[in-house]
Amino acid sequence: MTSTMTRVAAADIASGDSSKHVKYTFGMLLGVDDFTQEFTYLSGRDRWLARDLLGYGTVWGLSVELEKPDAGLRVNVDRGVGVTPLGQLVCVPSMQCAYLDPWLLKHQVDVPNRVVDGILPVYVVLCYRARATDKVPIPGEPCRTEDELTAASRWQDDFELELRLLPPAQVEETAIRDFAALLRQVEIVDSEGTNRETFIEKLRAAAAAPEGTSTEGSFKGWTVGDVPSVPATALTEYLRTAFRVWVTEIRPRFRLDVGCGADECPPDDGDACLLLAELALPIKSEAATHERTFLDPDLTVADIVVNEEARPYLLHERMLQEWMLGATGGATHQQSPGAGGTTPGGGTTPGGGTAPPAVPVVVAAGQVDDTAQDFMIWSWGGLKTTMLDGPIYRLEFAGLNRNRQYVVKGTPIRPGDSRARVLEVLADDALPASETAARRRRSIYVRLATLDGEAEKGAFMVEISDFTEPV
């Protein structure tokens, strides 16, 4: 990463047709084109496998941080590895850095047009580059210049880190997130639910592009109040169906950037790179000149937001394996034919029923305070809170479904007040009539109450765990 983040001129590897490789025949004369073609085929298949089977994104490292030494604000990118949207492996072997002021001055013509409400979004981007190296003497005519006496004999994998005013397109990354969000909103029920044919029709409609946009836009989403329900006993079959629709119908809409073989059509060079982070830079309000910086000299690292939410990343198989083992509790258990249910340790549950899984999963947590913005001091798992009349607190998070088995644990907090309080989970008959059935299915309702049953506003810590038996 250079001090000004200018683009580095990078040579392109000579390319052939990645769907062809050399058919060797005894007595055949092999030239440069033949060896180039063979390399193109082999490297093309490696990139094809990585891109279509694994995806693209940060593999490890490449964290983005800001610091302010004496020379001014600086962006640091740690060492790491990534896979680009073209399936190219990129290695950054050591910490890289760039100063913001020189880069802003170099792009001063374009900067004012990108500022919104005093904030300039700047994107940290990683690209693959190939560098010609290892020059060797080559034969030729006399009276040549020094540059004509040698030629590079190797291509070396390299990288380029840039600051940009526009992010690279992440069409498929956005589609993956949107499709997963659609599936998380599906309700799992103990009844028959939506039949499979209707489920497919609704899924196709929800994954369609909104009217007036291209296929690269976001999904239309479920129709309000018409989210399909899936019977718990057939969840696996419905998911197979959903993923088949994704693979055969939806994903091809978002794979227009890369084909295969002779039909390969790579994206623009700018979109073949990885987004690492977005920086929100507070910019001075006065008019720009070539003689000054855009940044206030008193600006600190804390004044700049580093947003990595849109960064695509890849989890390796070993991590996924360990995660899945933990998600199932490492053991399965079934209802016993006797009066009690069998526990993972061989015991029974009082009065029958299936014992909870061996390892519950904490799905959401946070600190709620009626004096805080949006009533949340902090949250984990996407927990959100709304205060209703009563006062009653509505708790929501992605994937919440009251057909699952949750345990809600809460601790009231009120510094300097010694009165005892409890956090109560409310049944539906205690809720306001304005809370619709659809809202109730995706929410948990609690209230703070004194020991004499009087509800009041206040602050509390809450943790929600999922004890649902794995399917």
Q: Render 265-286 in DSSP notation, one character per residue.
A: -PPPGGGGSEEEEEEEEE--SS
pLDDT at 14 over 60: no
Encode pLDDT of 225-280 as tens digits.
788 999 888 989 999 999 999 999 999 888 755 555 434 444 455 578 999 999 99
> 60 or 321, which is more confident?
60
More confident residue, 122 or 144: 122
Distance CA 121, CA 114 (A): 7
Name the one residue in this structure whose structure tokens are 């029974």. Answer: 348
79-92 exposure pattern, b = at least 16 Cβ within 10 A, e = fewer: ebbbbbbbbbebeb
Angle value at C-alpha 184, between 446 and 424, nearest 5 degrees:
10
Note the pLDDT tens digit of each residue in 155-190. Answer: 788 899 999 999 998 888 989 999 998 898 888 888
Which residues have CB under 8 Å from 442's CB, separation 6+? 396, 400, 401, 402
Tokens standing for residue 101: 């002021």
The domain ranges of the chain are 32-169+259-307, 175-254, 361-466
> Which pLDDT belongs to residue 341?
40
Token pair in block for residue 65: 């941080």
The tens digit of pLDDT for each residue in 65-123 reads 999 998 889 999 999 999 999 889 999 999 999 999 899 988 888 888 888 888 899 99
pTM of the prediction? 0.64
Instruction: For residue range 182-218, list pLDDT tens digits in order.
Output: 898 888 888 888 899 999 999 999 998 877 665 555 7
Q: What is the mean pLDDT of residues 398-418?
A: 80
